[in-house]
Structure 1
Amino acid sequence: MDAGGFWKLVDHAVSATADLEQRRVWLSGRLALLPAGEIADFAVRLDEQRRRVDTWAHWQAATLICSGLCGMDSFFYFQAWLIGQGRSVFESVATSPDALADMPAVRRLAALGPVDAWSDDDWPHWEALYRVPDAAFEAVHAGDLDDLLASRGQARAFDVSPGGEDVEMEDPTDIARRIPRLWALFGKVPR
């Protein structure tokens, strides 16, 4: 499975349902129909795409949206949520973190006000996406997906390791300069 096949599955899940749990079930079911190597490829593609938004600039944007409540785990889950929005949204945000301001889900969060008013379902995270390939693999194949990946000389990274230019995570001037549209949505309102 190449990147195109990965995104075809994700985009189909996005069009099938807005509910992340239903997307997880849909993706796991579809992957379980594929050979073990294709499931492993999905896991590798997931990691490759996540790494594209593993930058300080993307972490700064996620931190602003989440009112400072975006540590390493939260950012990792935010990256999965971003992938789960589909290819066109992901590509625009991968190119420019400020494109998050165009997402209806992000604009909705800004309209909700302070994060303490958010329900658990409002938070931009999707930890369960990382379990999809494992669940599909375990449903139809003996053994462990990570063992198969290791036999192919591959491994997944389950942590953040941001790259790119350093940013000032809490400096309003730096934030407003780098992500002005997100700053307009989240930075000027007491949160």
Structure 2
Amino acid sequence: MSVDEFWTIVAKARQSAGDSSDAEEVAERTLALLSALPPEQIAALARPLWDLRARSYRWELWQAAYLINGGCSDDGFEYFRGWLLAQGRETFELAVADPDTLAELLAVQRVAADGEDLECESMYGVVWDAYEAATGSIELPCPVTGRYPELGPGWDFEDADEVRRRLPRLAALFAD
């Protein structure tokens, strides 16, 4: 299975959701679609999901999550990226390439107004949850191992000038 196949399943889940902006509902629909597959096919999606998680492990995206959610721990960044996966391929690809594009999303604009967090822990582990639902085991036949890439040099997420320089649209949206 490939990244393309993973995104096809997410697209179907988004189409079948009553509210495609509801990440938890998209995660539930994704889990249902995955759980209907043979266990080998479910397990084969673990690597593509891991690759997407690794690809989105970037300082700039973490800064965006920090700004959007009013802070962002290690786990918070994982769950934010779960939310991002539930938004679909186009949004994910744009945000990974340029996290400042998140300022264009209605969900992010709503968060700026009401302070809600954008997180979806269940989407982040949907392949493992589907495999467990299908087999009763959390042990994949071919375990996925790896390390996240280096984040590179960091910066102070509280430095307003640096935030405005790196993420101008998000900084303007979340200005105090």
TM-score by length of 2: 0.88
Displacement of 1:133 in angstroms is 1.8
Q: What secondary structure sits across from 1:149 in the alignment?
A: coil
**Per-residue deviation, 1:66:** 1.6
Aligned pairs for 1:83-162 within 5 A: 83-112=85-114, 115=115, 122-141=116-135, 143-146=137-140, 148-150=141-143, 154-155=144-145
Q: Which sits farther off after the overlay, 25-34 or 76-85?
A: 25-34
1:149 touches 1:155 (CA, 8 Å); kept in 2?
A: no
The answer to whether the Cα contact below 8 Å between 1:50 and 1:79 also exists between their aligned partners in 2 is yes
TM-score, normalised relative to structure 1: 0.81
Q: Are 1:180 and 2:173 counterparts?
A: no
**Contact kept in structure 1, 2:24 and 2:120, CA below 8 Å:** no
Deviation, 1:169, is 1.2
Would you say the 8 A contact 1:176–1:183 is kept in 2? yes
Matches within 5 A, 1:19-34: 19-34=22-37
Identity of aligned residues (%): 35
Conservation of the 8 A alpha-carbon contact between 2:65 and 2:80: yes
Which letter does structure 1 place at the counterpart of 2:101?
A: A
Q: Give the direction of change, closer, same or farther, for the CA distance of 1:134–1:182 in structure 2 (3 Å limit).
A: same
Q: Alpha-carbon deviation of 1:165? A: 4.4
Cα distance in 2 for residues equivalent to 1:107 and 1:142: 40
Compared with structure 1, are the counterparts of its residues 134 and 30 closer, same or farther at alpha carbon in structure 2 (3 Å cutoff)?
same
Supply the AA of the counterpart residue of 2:85: I
Residue correspondences, number? 173
Q: What's the offset of the Cα at 1:79?
A: 0.7
Kindly report the root-mean-square deviation, in angstroms, between the aligned alpha carbons of the 2 structures: 2.0
Query: CA 1:101 to 1:21, structure 2 compared with 1: closer, same or farther past 3 Å?
Result: closer
* Equivalent residue runs for 1:55-66 within 5 Å: 55-66=58-69
Q: Counterparts of 2:28 and 2:146 in 1: how far apart (Å)?
A: 21
In the alignment, the residues of structure 2 paired with residue 98 and residue 174 of structure 1 have an alpha-carbon distance, to the nearest angstrom, of 13
Q: 2 CA distance for matches of 1:91 and 1:168?
A: 25
The alignment status of 1:37 with 2:25, answered yes or no, reads: no
Runs of 4+ in structure 1 off by over 4 angstroms are none
Give unmatched runs, 5+ long, in structure 2: none
2:4 corresponds to: 4
Runs (5+) with no aligned partner, structure 1:
116-121
